Chains A and B, each alone.
Chain A
Amino acid sequence: MNLQIVMLLGQDGITNGAIYALLALSILLVFTVTRILLIPQGEFVAFAALTMAAMQGGTPVRLGWLLLALAAAALVMDSHAAWRRDGRIAVRRGPALGVAYAAGLTALTTLVPLAEAGVALQALVTMALIVPLGLALYRVFYQPIAAAHPLVLLIVSIAVHVVLVGVGLLMFGPEGARTEPFSDGGLRLGMVMLNSQTIWVVAVSLALILGLYLFFERSLYGKALRAAAVNRLGAELVGISPELAGKASFALAALIGSLSGILIAPITTIYYDSGFIISLKGFVGAIIGGLASYPVAALGALLIGQAESFSTFWASSYKEVIVFTLILPVLVWRSLSHHGAEDEE
C-alpha cells in the first residue's frame, strides 16, 4: 500500500460516493416532503443507464411503453375520481397531456434511431423519459394513499420496487450493459491520472447540489417544498398543495436518479436490478444524516464511498458486510443522543 494506491482508491471512493450522495439527497428530499421512503429510487438509476445503453446499442428502447401505461393509468384514475365526485366522466387537461406526451416520446424512441444522436441528446431523451416516470409513479401509486401511515407507504414502496425490477427484466433483458464514456483521456494531477468520467461525476454532482441549494433557498417552489417538509398541515393552510409538493419531489428524485444513472453507466456494467444496491448505499448515507440533514447525509454518502473502496482493497469478500455494518454505530449513537423522543407520526 503506497501513496499512489491510496490516491487511486480515494478517487474511486469519491466517484462512487458522489453518486451515493446524490441518491441520499433525493431519498431525503422525498422522505421529508412525503414521508415516503423511496425504495424505487435505484430503478431510476438502472433504467436511465440501460435506456442510454439501449439507444447507443441500437436495441429497442422500451421504457416509453411503461411511461405510456402509467400515464394511461393516471388518466383513468383521474377520470374515475371526477366521476365519483361529479357523477360524470370528465377528462382533465393535465393527465390527457401526460398521455399525449408519453405517446409522443414512445413514438420518438421507437421510430427514430438515436444511436448516432450524440451523448448529450441521448441523455436528454433519457431524462425526458425518466422524470415524467417519477411523476406518474407518484400519481398512480402514492397519491391515493398520501395520508396513510408511513409504514403503509413503506410497504407500497417495496411493492413498487419489486414490480419495477420485474418490468425492468422484461424491458432490458437479463444481461448488463455499459455506455460510451462522455470523453476520452483524463487529467494528470501529480502522479495520479484522474479519470475523465470521475471529473464528470464530481462536476455534475457539485453542480446539481449547488442547483438544489439555490432552488430550495431562492425559488418560491423550493421554499414551498421546504415548507411542506417542515409542517405539512401548516403548508396546506397557507395554500401549498400537498399533491404538487409530492409530485415535485418525485420529479426531482427521478431527475437526480436519471442523472446518476447516466453518469455511472460508462464506469460500470449496470444490470436491470443493479439500482437497488446502489440506492441502498445512498440510503445508508441518508440514515447517517438522520433522514433530516442534507449536508450530513451527503457527507455520510461520501464516507460510504470511501469505506467501500478501501474495504474492498483489504478484504474484497467482506466488502458489503463492512459497508452495511457501518450503519450500526451510527444508529446506536443516534439513539443514545436522541433520548427516545422519535415520534412515529
Chain B
Amino acid sequence: MIAKKLAVSLLFGAFAVGAALPADAQVKVGVVTSSTGPIALVGIPQKNSVPLLPATVGGQTVQYITLDDGSDPTATVAAFKKLITEEKVDAIIGPSGSPNAMGVIQFAAESGVPMLAPVGTAAVVLPMTEQKKWVFKTTQNDDLIAEALLEHMAKAGIKSVGFIGTADPYGDNWQKVFGEGAAKRGIKLLASERFQRQDTSLTAQGLKILSASPDAVLIAAPGSSSVLPQTTLFDQGYRGKIYQTHGAALPDFLKLGGKKVEGTILAASLMLVLDQVPDSHPSKKIASDYVAAYEKQNGSKPATFGANVYDAGLLLERAIPVALKGGEPGSAAFRTALRDALEQVKELPATQGVYNLTAADHSGFDERGRELITVSGGKWTLVK
C-alpha cells in the first residue's frame, strides 16, 4: 500500500521534473565538484558559481548538470561515466581535486568529451599526450606562480630557502617545480618538510626548518592549511621571509593567521587585490562583476576556486559559437569541434587573467594571470 503510494508519487515527481526542464536545452554541460568531503572548501565555491555561468551561448540554451563526488576519486569516475553515457554531455567542468582529475582524463578522452579542469596540478595538461588533448586547465600553472616568487626571492637577495608542503599532489608538484626553479637561480633548498591538512601540530617540521636556518621559507598548501606552518614558525621565533603559493589566496588566511602572517609574500590572481590593480587590467572588470554577482547570491566573497569554474564558463562561451559550425550539439562532431575551438581561444580576458590557448599549452596564462601580493596591516596589498 505504502509502496504503491510511493511509486505513484515518484512517478508524478518524475513528470514534474521532466516538465520543469527547459525543452530547448541544447548544449549540455556536466559539472563535477567536491562540495562535500575533505576538499569541500574548494568544491563549495565552485558549486555556488554554477548558477552564474552563461545560460545561453550563440542562441543555444546551455543546461548545466551538477554532480557531487564527495572528494572521492572513485566517485568522480562514476560521475563522469554517468554524465557521458546517460546525459550525453558536450563538455564537463570539473572535478575539484587534482587526484580526482588525474583519474578521469582517460574516460573523457576515450569518449571524446572536452574537460575543463579547475584543478591546481599542472600534471593534467603537462606533458601533453594524446589523452590530455581533451583536458583544459583553468588555473595558473604552478611554474608561472613559482617563477614570480623566485624572481622576488632573487631580487631580495635570498640565498637559501626551506620548503613545507602538504603530503599530496599539490605539495609534490610544488616541491618539484620550485626545486628546479631554485636550482636554476642558485638558491639552495636546505630543508623540505611535509604535513597533512589535519595535523594538530607542526612543531617538528618547524624545528627541522629552524635548525637549517634558511633565509626564507616557502609554504605550499591549499586553503587554510597553509596557515598553521606559518604561525608555528612564527611562534618558534623564525623571522625570515615567508612565501606562500596561490593556495593561500583566500580571505580565511588573514582571519586565521592574524598578526603572525604579516609580511607574507604570495603570487596569485588579481582577485585578492581587485581594488588596487589599475583599471586598465583586462581582468579587473570581469573579476569585479563575478565577485559582486557571487556575493549577491551567496552573501560571502568567493574563494579563487569558484572563479576557476567561472572562467571555464567563459571559455565555453567563446568556443561554443565556433563549434556550432562543426556539428549539432550532442554529436561527436560538435564535441570534437568544441575541443578544437577551445584550443584556438586567443586573448580571452577572464577573472584569473588572460587565456591564450595553444595545442601545446592548455592552461594558457601569462604574467597577466599573477600578481605579487603581500600582507600589510592585516590586508592583502599589491606589491608595487
Q: Kindly list chain B residues whose C-beta atoms are within 8 Å of the C-beta of A271.
A: 197-198
User: With A169-B40, A269-B256, A316-B208 known to touch, is A12 a contact of B201 (CB < 8 Å)?
Assistant: yes
Q: Kindly list chain A residues whose C-beta atoms are within 8 Å of the C-beta of B200.
A: 16, 19, 264, 267-268, 274, 278
Q: Is A222 an interface residue (CB 8 A)?
A: no
Interface of A is mostly: helix
Q: Is B36 an interface residue (CB 8 A)?
A: yes
Q: Kindly list chain B residues whose C-beta atoms are within 8 Å of the C-beta of A174.
A: 40-44
Q: Is the CB of A175 within 8 A of B223?
A: yes
Q: Is the CB of A277 within 8 A of B198?
A: yes
Question: How many A residues touch the partner, as a band?
Answer: 35 or more
Q: Is the CB of B204 within 8 A of A176?
A: no
Q: Is B252 an interface residue (CB 8 A)?
A: yes
How many B residues face the partner with a CB closer than 8 A? 33
Q: Is A130 an interface residue (CB 8 A)?
A: no
Query: Which of chain A's residues has its CB closest to B171's CB?
Result: A317
Minimum CB–CB distance for B295 against chain A, Å: 16
Q: Which has the most chain A C-beta neighbours within 10 Å: B44, B195, B202, B207? A: B207
Within 8 A of B (CB), among A3-18: 5, 8-9, 11-12, 15-16
Q: Which of A206-214, A226-234, A238-246, A306-314 contacts B (4 or more CB under 8 A)?
A: A306-314
Q: Is the CB of A268 within 8 A of B207?
A: no
Within 8 A of B (CB), among A229-285: 264, 267-269, 271, 273-274, 277-278
Interface of B is mostly: helix
Q: Is the CB of B199 within 8 A of A268?
A: yes
Q: Kindly list chain B residues whose C-beta atoms are within 8 Å of the C-beta of A313.
A: 204-205, 207-208
Q: Kindly list chain B residues whose C-beta atoms are within 8 Å of the C-beta of A310.
A: 204
User: With A169-B36, A175-B41, A269-B256 known to touch, is A8 a contact of B207 (CB < 8 Å)?
Assistant: yes
Q: Is the CB of A320 within 8 A of B38?
A: no
User: With A5-B207, A176-B256 known to touch, is A316 a contact of B201 (CB < 8 Å)?
Assistant: no
Q: Kindly list chain B residues whose C-beta atoms are within 8 Å of the C-beta of A166.
A: 36
Q: Kindly list chain A residues whose C-beta atoms are within 8 Å of the C-beta of B208.
A: 313, 316
Contacts from A to B (Cβ < 8 Å)? 5, 8-9, 11-12, 15-16, 19, 57, 166, 169, 173-178, 195, 264, 267-269, 271, 273-274, 277-278, 309-310, 312-313, 316-317, 319-320
Contacts from B to A (Cβ < 8 Å)? 36, 38, 40-44, 167, 193-205, 207-208, 211, 223-225, 227-228, 235, 252, 255-256
